[in-house]
Amino acid sequence: MRRLRDERGSTVVTAIVLLAMMMMMGLATAGLVDGQQEESGRERARESSLNLNEGVLYAQAFVLARNWPSGDGSVAFPATCGSGSATTTYCPNRDTLAAAGPAGGGSANFTAADYRAGATWTTKVRDNGGVMEDFYYSEQADVAQAGCPVTPCTKDHNGDRQLWVQVSTKVHGRPRSVVALLQLEEFKEAFPTNAVTAGHVTVSNNGNHGGRALVDITGSQIAVRCDPADPACIVSNRTSHIQPRTFAQLPATQTAALSPTQLQRLKARAIADGRYFESCPPANANLAGEVVWVEECSGSYGSSLQTVPCPSGYPGLSANGGCINTPASPGILIWHKGTAKFTGNDTFVGLIHMANDSDGTGGTTGTVLETGGGFQIFGAASVDGGGGLKVGSAGVPNIKFFPNVFNSLASYGTAGLVQNTWRELDASG
């Protein structure tokens, strides 16, 4: 029998070999797990970067919907916006995006650990003109575009209401870059389809004009906020001055044709289109445009306003002078506060709406809109509140109802993604 102190045999050697094999397997397993964890971390960072990318894209779309850079007078967007730049009207709010922003994440939407350090983003807004009409080339994004007044072209120079937006993000050193074509959508605005809407109406002309109407509302009516049977409500020296004599009294609660919310949307569009006047437009102003806004003015305008030749083929359209807008492209002129008088021989094609400060303290109950001479409104006229419309001397119908002017009344809605234009760029561009 072997003694316990006998050291002969292979048990110890076998144990050492097995222990070594187990250690190697453990190290291999640990290395595999570590590699998988690293890959998982990289994948998470890439996905986090893409999520931030899409968030910034929609934030830029939100900004564009409210400040679309179109029209000759609109402000061009910055060449780039970024997480390190100061927040402006034309850039996404950096404090509401990644928590790594200057605000420290207090109001951020992306607050996970990946976004708390080392998360950055930049955006580029570019016109889809020239070589980038159908496809976005990152290497062409910063070069000059023919005819565009700014380089790079950061405004809707071609006027098609479409713009490219490129967003580049980096989370934990993992870059992602996407681009998409955004299109500005229009929001149709409802408006009473009356030839005239006002607190009261006066036709001051005394002439017979051969029995011809000075206010031709054929196909519509005059809607007033007073009793049409009251002699002071609709004043006309001759029954022939208003034809046909179709009148309606508005409910006492209907004091404005447009709500304050509608007015704000239309004002925002006028600003975006570069058709906004903070005070009285000059005597030779261009009042043409789908939506033109005059904030506050009490002024009189003659034959110096900018016009285009009036087309033929539209019964009742004056041919005495030029046209502000055309029947094919009518517009709305919104006079927010104050009064306006138009004389001369020109024709405004569209809707003249005197808001009469309806969304504020309210305006005057006197005459707010006055026409005279050979000036014509080919479309409709509206005065909010108790304000009145006055039609003076005329060689042509001062107001000729044209129903098509209500069809194109629209503000700007959202800036939506054009289908099949979203794609990811390589990390370098």
Q: Are residues 124 and 226 in the same domain?
A: no
Question: Which is more confident, 99 or 315?
Answer: 315
How far apart, in whole angstroms, are the C-alpha atoms of residue 217 and residue 234?
A: 14
The pLDDT of residue 238: 86
User: What stretches of 221-290 adopt beta strand conformation (E)?
Assistant: 222-224, 234-236, 242-243, 247-249, 276-277
The pLDDT of residue 42: 58
| Separation in Å, CA 134 to CA 160, 404, 420, 428 | 13, 33, 11, 21
The pLDDT of residue 10: 67
Tell me what percent of the residues of the chain surpass a pLDDT of 70: 86
Q: What's the mean pLDDT in 291-308?
A: 96
Q: Are residues 419 and 404 in the same domain?
A: no
Whether residue 363 is predicted with pLDDT greater than 70 in this model: the reply is yes
Q: What's the mean pLDDT in 184-188?
A: 92
**Any domain includes 26:** no
pLDDT in tens, 72-81: 666 789 999 9
Any idea how long the chain is? 429
To the nearest whole number, what is the mean pLDDT of the chain? 87
Q: Could you tell me the residue range of the domain that residue 369 belongs to?
A: 196-408
Whether residue 405 is predicted with pLDDT greater than 70 in this model: the reply is yes
Q: What's the mean pLDDT in 388-415?
A: 90
**Any domain includes 254:** yes
**Any domain includes 264:** yes
Say if pTM beats, i.e. exceeds, 0.75.
yes
Whether the CB-CB separation of 345 and 309 falls below 8 Å is answered with no
Question: Which is more confident, 98 or 132?
Answer: 132
Q: Structural domain tally of the chain?
A: 2
Q: Are residues 165 and 215 in the same domain?
A: no
pLDDT in tens, 7-36: 566 677 777 877 878 888 877 676 666 555
Q: Are residues 84 and 232 in the same domain?
A: no
The pLDDT of residue 263: 97
**Any domain includes 25:** no
**Any domain includes 222:** yes
Question: Which is more confident, 195 or 19?
Answer: 195
Whether residue 99 is predicted with pLDDT greater than 70 in this model: the reply is no
Q: Are residues 178 and 314 in the same domain?
A: no
Whether residue 202 is predicted with pLDDT greater than 70 in this model: the reply is yes
Whether residue 327 is predicted with pLDDT greater than 70 in this model: the reply is yes
Whether residue 175 is predicted with pLDDT greater than 70 in this model: the reply is yes
**Any domain includes 127:** yes
**Gap between the terminal Cα atoms of the chain:** 82
Q: What's the mean pLDDT in 257-282?
A: 94
The pLDDT of residue 13: 74
Worst-scoring range by mean pLDDT, 101-105, 122-126, 410-414? 101-105
The pLDDT of residue 98: 63
Whether residue 253 is predicted with pLDDT greater than 60 in this model: the reply is yes
The pLDDT of residue 30: 65
Q: Are residues 302 and 374 in the same domain?
A: yes
Whether residue 66 is predicted with pLDDT greater than 80 in this model: the reply is yes
CB proximity list for 86: less than 8 A, separation 6 or greater: none
CB proximity list for 52: less than 8 A, separation 6 or greater: 97, 98, 110, 115, 119, 121, 169, 171
The pLDDT of residue 6: 60
Whether residue 37 is predicted with pLDDT greater than 60 in this model: the reply is no
Model confidence at 247, pLDDT cuts 50, 70, 90, reads very high
39: left (phi over 0), alpha (psi -120 to 50) or beta: alpha
Q: Are residues 233 and 211 in the same domain?
A: yes
**Any domain includes 14:** no
* Tokens describing residue 174: 């993992």
The pLDDT of residue 71: 60
The pLDDT of residue 347: 96
pLDDT in tens, 308-323: 999 999 999 987 889 9
Q: What's the mean pLDDT in 86-115?
A: 68
Q: Are residues 211 and 160 in the same domain?
A: no
**Any domain includes 19:** no
Q: Are residues 234 and 363 in the same domain?
A: yes
Model confidence at 182, pLDDT cuts 50, 70, 90, reads very high
Q: Are residues 63 and 178 in the same domain?
A: yes
The pLDDT of residue 391: 93
How far apart, in whole angstroms, are the C-alpha atoms of residue 186 and residue 65?
A: 10
The pLDDT of residue 320: 84
Question: Which is more confident, 270 or 39?
Answer: 270
Highest mean pLDDT among 71-75, 110-114, 306-310, 370-374: 306-310
Whether residue 132 is predicted with pLDDT greater than 60 in this model: the reply is yes
Q: Are residues 135 and 207 in the same domain?
A: no
How far apart, in whole angstroms, are the C-alpha atoms of residue 196 and residue 214?
A: 13
Q: Are residues 180 and 106 in the same domain?
A: yes
